[in-house]
Amino acid sequence: MAEQQPVPVKKEAGVPTDPMMRRPFLSLRDEIDRVFDEFMSWSPFRASTWERPLARLGVHGGDLTADVIERDDAYEIDVDVPGMSKDNIEIALSNGDLRVKCEMKEEKEETGKEYYRRERFHESCSRDFELPAGVDVEKIAADLENGVLKITLPKTPEAQKQPRKIDIKPH
């Protein structure tokens, strides 16, 4: 059975995330810009995409894949972070947003008969989640198991109450 690792959640003050960045067409434009930037700055000395640590782990373009599930008593966010340890993951709460950030650093050194090669890679990716009303921020918890980061956002008792149905009177 895989070991469960608790992941600390820290709170920090900051500027709220720009809502414009949440629009899908802006994300698409940013991704197209990134592809063109990579193509135009190609160099034989630059590491290829498949040599980058996060790309090898299945994380591409700085995006973290996640599922958000609403339960009666809590929200659950499952983030795919294959190959990551809790030391590579940071979870922060700021101005009603929850940010999950992954960072991977790697150094390689090869020595051959007539060559010496040393490379360093540093990549990071993050994803922001806007917290819905009624989340008890003091009880947010996170666990890492089998490459899935499970963040539990418990609902306050008021948010757990069933909605009241309002009858419609005919005229």
pTM of the predicted protein model: 0.57
Determine which helix (DSSP H) or strand (DSSP E) holds 77, and give its type and residue range. strand 74-80
Q: Which residues of 11-38 are buried (b: 16+ CB within 10 A; e: fewer)?
A: eeeeeebeeeeeeeeeeeeeeeeeeeee
| Confidence (pLDDT) at 161 | 79
Q: What is the pLDDT of residues 7-61, one digit of tens each?
A: 766 665 554 455 554 566 777 777 887 777 766 655 444 444 434 444 444 444 4
> In the chain, what are the domain boundaries?
5-157
> Can you read off the two tokens belonging to residue 98?
């929850």
Sign of CA dihedral 43, 44, 47, 48: positive
| Confidence (pLDDT) at 95 | 87
Triad 121, 125, 130: Cα angle to 5°: 170
| Confidence (pLDDT) at 51 | 45
Residue with tokens 């009303």: 133
5-157 adopts what CATH topology? Answer: Immunoglobulin-like (2.60.40)
